[in-house]
Structure formats: structure tokens, C-alpha cells
């Protein structure tokens, strides 16, 4: 039986996509081979990469002067690729709003001066600093943000308007809400939260910014090289890109990012409203900054939290344990989580509150 999977990543994928992948697994595009066995230089596979790129461009309205590439190493490798590709003066700004934002900032320090210009750790990352009041460094090469904080369940309600190019880690929210790509210099995202299985990372970068990577930048991390080679510089993560393509086709069928955003806002509102009106559960994020993808909550008792997670699992609602840094529970309700899954969770929460409140 398929469960409702609330894992933060790798996470649930659309059932239709899994079924399609299953149906053509042994014979991909009439080749008599699975997509995992075929050369990445085969026309049938090249078409997949081209389609995935075209769909990213279409669904996010990516301007033509931006590269869209598929790379390996996860978002964490991009923490290094960002300074390696973008540092010109060697100074960049970072806003630290969570665990991954902090890691990106720490990685930046290896290659240059990484100024932490904002930090919400004083309140365990339950808010986003006021982006209009930060002391952006004059002449910085870029400003790095994590647009949605997967572990703490917060997100930017508005983005910085800074002179330097804005670089955003959107790993846990890409394709979940509309963004204006031209407001960003670079958008990047590991796929395993909202797009595909683990193994592929998307980078969308303004081409004029990626002309001069640092001399020490490994060839594989040069976005320009990946762009010039259509993401086929070396063997790509073929299956993950194939799955991303199916998910993007599915997203288009469902009405694209705008329709998905409406559904995501609806799902998140159901859950937050229920939590806010309950006596047992609490979400500590400042409402303005609440994520519509990751919803952490606690009962106030570690013992009860553990009981909740265990009983939910028995009810077919799995992977609700919060990240080890924050404890409690976390419901990740990505694009692929159906409304029925969120409703089933709320019904379970009601029942659990009645029995334990
Ligand atoms: C999961 C996550 C990462 C780390 O991704 P990897 O692919 O494991 O390197 C980075 N940033 C954010 C916002 C994430 O949610």
C-alpha cells in the first residue's frame, strides 16, 4: 500500500510520474533498453535533457540570457560552485536564515570574504531578517539567500532588492511558487525535494555573470562549461534528469507553477489553521515567514512527539519526525503531496489530540 510520505527529502513524487516511469522502464522510447542503460549521447536520451531544459524555461519563464543546466553533487556542491563561478572582487554577502544557509556561508569563506549581513539564529531561525534594513556590502559580487528553510520551515515573503546579483538556494521550493527569474542572478536547487530523485541539481544562471570563474574552479563546477555542453559535458545523472522531465511534464499538465502555488497555499493554510486553533500543537515560525513546503510543529512534550510519529506511521502517514536539530514533527507538503494527504494528516492530528490532549 502506498503511504502519504511527508519526508523532507528525498521526498514523495507524483504517483502518475512513478507509474509512467514504471511502464516504460524496460523499453525506453522504443530503444529496447531502460533509460539507465542507454548512452547519454543517444538521440533518444539527448531529447530528454533538451525537453527538461525547455520545460524549466517555460514553467519558470526563464529569460533567454540565462543558462539552465543540470549538474551533480547536490545543492551542497553548489555552495562551493557559487564563489568559484561568481567571485570577481572576492567579496560576497550571505544572509543566514537556517542550517543550509549557514553551510553555504561557511563554504563561501573558503574562497573569499563571505560577509554575514543577516542572521536569524537568535530566535532559532523562526523569522527572516528585514531585507530592506540589511547593510549590503558595496561592490559585493553577490548576495546569497536560502529562499525556503527546509529544516526550520520559514521562507522569504519578499526578496532582497540589492545591487549585487541575488543568488538563491531554492532546493526545497523550486516550482512551488511563482518567482521572477530576472530578479535573480542565480537560482539553484537540489532536485530531491520538489522535483526528482536525488542525483541532479538545477542551476539557472545569468550568462553574463558566469564568464569568468576563478582560476582554481574545477572544470566540472564551471557553469559556463556545463552550459556550453548542454549539461552533457560528461555522463549526466541520466535517470534523475529523466524523472525530472516527467515531473515537469506533469506540472505543465496540472497548470504550471501558478496552479501549483494555489494548491500549495491551500494545503499549507489548512494545516496552519488547524495547528493555530489546536491546544496541543504549536508552530513557532512568525506567520509572515511560514513556509508552504515544510511545516514543523511540536506538542511541547518530547515523549508525546515520539508517540505521535510512531502512531502516525501506523496510520500510513510516514516520515513526520522533525529534523534532529529542532525535534518535534515536520510535515513536508511538496508539490507532489495531494490535498487528501494533508487532510488525512489533519484528521489524524485531531484524533491524536482527542486521545492525548
Ligand atoms: C536539502 C537541502 C540542501 C542540501 O542538498 P544536498 O542535495 O543534500 O546537497 C541545501 N539547501 C536546502 C535549502 C536544502 O533543503
DSSP secondary structure letters along 255-281: THHHHHHHHHHHHHHHHHHHHHH-SS-
Chain region(s) in the chain for CATH 3.40.640.10: 15-253
220-242: pLDDT as tens digits: 999 999 999 999 999 999 999 99
Averaged pLDDT for residues 182-196? 98
Averaged pLDDT for residues 267-275? 98
Q: Which of 100, 194, 221 to mutate to test the pocket of ligand 1 (most atoms within 8 A of CB)?
A: 100
Q: What string of DSSP letters covers 158-189?
A: S----SSPEEEE-TTTTTTS---GGG-SEEEE
| pLDDT above 90: residue 357 | no
The per-residue pLDDT for 1 is 86
| pLDDT above 90: residue 329 | yes
The protein residue with its alpha carbon nearest to ligand 1, atom 2, reads: 171
Chain region(s) in the chain for CATH 3.90.1150.10: 256-356
Instruction: Report d(CA 92, CA 108) in Å as an integer.
Output: 8
Alpha carbon dihedral 357, 1, 252, 295, in 10-degree steps, equals 20
* CATH code, residues 15-253: 3.40.640.10
Averaged pLDDT for residues 274-301? 97
7-61: pLDDT as tens digits: 999 999 999 999 999 999 999 999 999 999 999 999 999 999 999 999 999 999 9
Sign of CA dihedral 164, 102, 66, 232: positive
79 C-alpha to center of ligand 1: Å? 10
139 C-alpha to center of ligand 1: Å? 28
How, if at all, do strands 113-119 and 66-71 pair?
A: unpaired
134-162: pLDDT as tens digits: 999 999 999 999 999 999 999 999 999 99
Residues with Cβ within 6 A of ligand 1? 9, 74-76, 100, 146, 150, 169, 171-172, 190, 193
φ, ψ for residue 306, nearest 5 deg: -65, -40
The per-residue pLDDT for 107 is 98
290-311: pLDDT as tens digits: 999 999 999 999 999 999 999 9
Query: Mean of the per-residue pLDDT values for the chain?
Result: 97
Ligand 1 atom, smallest distance to 76 CA: 9
Fold of 256-356: 3.90.1150
98-110: pLDDT as tens digits: 999 999 999 999 9
What's this model's pTM, rounded to 2 decimal places?
A: 0.98
Averaged pLDDT for residues 311-335? 97
Amino acid at each position: 500500500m502506498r503511504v502519504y510520505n511527508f519526508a523532507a527529502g528525498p521526498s514523495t513524487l507524483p504517483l502518475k510520474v512513478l507509474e509512467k516511469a514504471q511502464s516504460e522502464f524496460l523499453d525506453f522510447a522504443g530503444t529496447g533498453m531502460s533509460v539507465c542503460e542507454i548512452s547519454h549521447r543517444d538521440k533518444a536520451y539527448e531529447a530528454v535533457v533538451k525537453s527538461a531544459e525547455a520545460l524549466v524555461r517555460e514553467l519558470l519563464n526563464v529569460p533567454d540570457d540565462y543558462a539552465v543546466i543540470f549538474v551533480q553533487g547536490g545543492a551542497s556542491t553548489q555552495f562551493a560552485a557559487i564563489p568559484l563561478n561568481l567571485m570577481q572582487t572576492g567579496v560576497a554577502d550571505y544572509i543566514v536564515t537556517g542550517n543550509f544557509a549557514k553551510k553555504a556561508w561557511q563554504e563561501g569563506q573558503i574562497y573569499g570574504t563571505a560577509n554575514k549581513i543577516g542572521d536569524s539564529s537568535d530566535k532559532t531561525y523562526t523569522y527572516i531578517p528585514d531585507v530592506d534594513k540589511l547593510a549590503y556590502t558595496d561592490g559585493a559580487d553577490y548576495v546569497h539567500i536560502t529562499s525556503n528553510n527546509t529544516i526550520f520551515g520559514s521562507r522569504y515573503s519578499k526578496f532582497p532588492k540589492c545591487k549585487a546579483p541575488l543568488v538563491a538556494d531554492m532546493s526545497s521550493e523550486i516550482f512551488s511558487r511563482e518567482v521572477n527569474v530576472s530578479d535573480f542572478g542565480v537560482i539553484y536547487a537540489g532536485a530531491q525535494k520538489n522535483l526528482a530523485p536525488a542525483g541532479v541539481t538545477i542551476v539557472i544562471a545569468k550568462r553574463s555573470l558566469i564568464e569568468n570563474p576563478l582560476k582554481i574552479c574545477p572544470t566540472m563546477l564551471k557553469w559556463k562549461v556545463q552550459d556550453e555542453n548542454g549539461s552533457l559535458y560528461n555522463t549526466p545523472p541520466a535517470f534523475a534528469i529523466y524523472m525530472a522531465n516527467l515531473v515537469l511534464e506533469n506540472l505543465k499538465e496540472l497548470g504550471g507553477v501558478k496552479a501549483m502555488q494555489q494548491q500549495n497555499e491551500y494545503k499549507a493554510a489548512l494545516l496552519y489553521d488547524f495547528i493555530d486553533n489546536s491546544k496541543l500543537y504549536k508552530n513557532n515560525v512568525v506567520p509572515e515567514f511560514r513556509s508552504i513546503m515544510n511545516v514543523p510543529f511540536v506538542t511541547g512534550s518530547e515523549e508525546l512527539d515520539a508517540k505521535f510519529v510512531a502512531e502516525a506511521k501506523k496510520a500510513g502517514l510516514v516520515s513526520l519526525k522533525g529534523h534532529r536539530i529542532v525535534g518535534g514533527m515536520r510535515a513536508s507538503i511538496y508539490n507532489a503531496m495531494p490535498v487528501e494527504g494533508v487532510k488525512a494528516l489533519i484528521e489524524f492530528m485531531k484524533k491524536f489530540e482527542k486521545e492525548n490532549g
